[in-house]
Structures are given as structure tokens and as C-alpha cells.
């Protein structure tokens, strides 16, 4: 094969092309999980969602489990990136950063039907899957430490004594519980109501600064 035949639209066929294809599979997995549930996703449902042939998965992943784990891991990384970016954009005040993280948790690109359902599947299935549990731990533990650090700083700035570790867990579990509630019945728990509930939790523990 000539070198010119190895190029696609002016660039060499290589890792970048593979990453594009892998991303397309991740999107397909999220769609398949949202439609069928984590346990009932099959190679066939993934390929139907992606519009690819069944044999193509083998060129990029060792099997269905590897593809599912990769997709869930990507969702976890995207959540971490989006919340961190939101916090940094909020400025230096730790209280503002906490509110920014809450807002990011209930808005796109974090809060979309597919991503929420993938996360709910991750949380509900981790107990029976060591690989999923490891993904869950790798995101949750640093995230909890980051929240606790911001909460301690916010408490110090406002002269409020709190247990930052416990409050961080409370906010995390409230967020996750509201996500699960939305997944079960979006007509009862909306994203806006979930976000408002988390903002109110922060405001209950951190009163406004004294003028």
C-alpha cells in the first residue's frame, strides 16, 4: 500500500483515528446503557447504537466488558473535568466554588440523560464488580477530599465550625441520590429541583458573610 493510501483527509491513519472511533463506541455504550441497563447491554445493542458491524469492536477493545469499563471510566473523567473547570471559573472564594460544583453537577455536559443513567448504573453495580468499584473509588475519594478542603476553607472564612469530611459525604450522597431519583422518575425530581436542594444544603451550613 502506498503512503498516500494510508492517509485520510491529509493526515496519517493512526492513534487519532482510533481515539475518534473509540469515542464513538463510548457514545454508543452510553446510549445502550440508557436504553437497556448495564447488565443487559450486549455487543449487538452497542453496535446497533453505533451503526457499526459486530466485528469492529474487536479492533479497538478486547471484548464487551473492556468496552463497558472504558465507557464508564470516560464518564467519570468527564465529570471530574467539568466540575473542576467550573470551580476554577468561579474565582477564589471557596463558597462560590462549592456552588459552582453543584451547578455543574446538574447541568450539561455532566447532567444528560445518558450520563446520569451510566453513573447510576456504575453506583448500583459496583458492589458486584471489582473493576467498576475501582472506577467509582478513583473518582469519589479525590472528589470527596477536594470538597472537604473547600468546605473547611469556607467554614474558616465565615467563622463556622463544621465537620468537612462528613459534609462532603452528605453533599455527594445527596447529589447521587437525586440523580438516582431523577433516573427513576424525572417528573417528580427535576434537575433544577435537585440543584436547588444542593445549593440549599450549602447555604444551611454556611451563612452569608457578616457585613
Q: For 98-132, write each residue's pLDDT tens digit.
A: 999 999 999 999 999 889 988 888 888 888 889 88
Q: For domain 69-205, give the fold.
A: Tetracycline Repressor; domain 2 (1.10.357)
125/159 Cα distance (integer angstroms): 41
139/88 Cα distance (integer angstroms): 18
Domain spans, the chain: 69-205
Q: For 123-170, write each residue's pLDDT tens digit.
A: 888 888 898 889 889 889 999 999 999 999 999 999 999 999 999 999
Give the list of residues 6+ apart from residue 189 with CB closer than 8 angstroms, or none: 178, 181, 182
Amino acid at each position: 500500500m502506498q503512503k498516500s493510501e494510508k492517509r485520510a483527509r491529509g493526515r496519517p491513519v493512526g492513534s487519532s483515528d482510533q481515539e475518534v472511533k473509540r469515542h464513538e463506541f463510548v457514545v454508543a455504550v452510553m446510549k445502550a446503557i440508557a436504553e437497556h441497563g448495564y447488565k443487559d447491554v450486549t455487543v449487538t445493542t452497542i453496535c446497533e447504537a453505533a451503526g457499526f458491524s459486530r466485528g469492529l469492536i474487536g479492533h479497538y477493545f478486547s471484548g464487551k466488558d473492556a468496552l463497558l469499563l472504558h465507557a464508564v471510566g470516560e464518564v467519570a473523567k468527564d465529570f471530574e473535568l467539568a466540575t473542576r473547570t467550573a470551580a476554577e471559573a468561579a474565582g477564589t472564594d471557596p463558597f462560590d466554588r462549592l456552588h459552582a460544583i453543584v451547578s455543574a453537577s446538574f447541568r450539561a455536559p455532566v447532567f444528560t440523560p445518558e450520563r446520569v443513567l451510566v453513573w447510576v448504573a456504575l453506583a448500583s453495580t459496583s458492589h458486584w464488580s471489582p473493576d467498576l468499584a475501582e472506577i467509582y473509588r478513583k473518582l469519589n475519594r479525590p472528589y470527596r477530599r477536594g470538597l472537604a478542603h473547600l468546605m473547611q476553607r469556607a467554614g474558616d472564612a465565615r467563622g463556622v465550625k463544621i465537620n468537612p469530611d462528613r459534609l462532603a459525604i452528605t453533599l455527594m450522597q445527596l447529589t447521587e441520590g437525586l440523580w438516582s431519583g431523577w433516573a427513576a422518575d424525572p417528573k417528580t425530581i427535576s434537575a433544577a429541583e435537585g440543584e436547588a436542594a444542593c445549593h440549599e444544603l450549602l447555604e444551611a451550613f454556611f451563612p452569608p458573610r457578616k457585613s
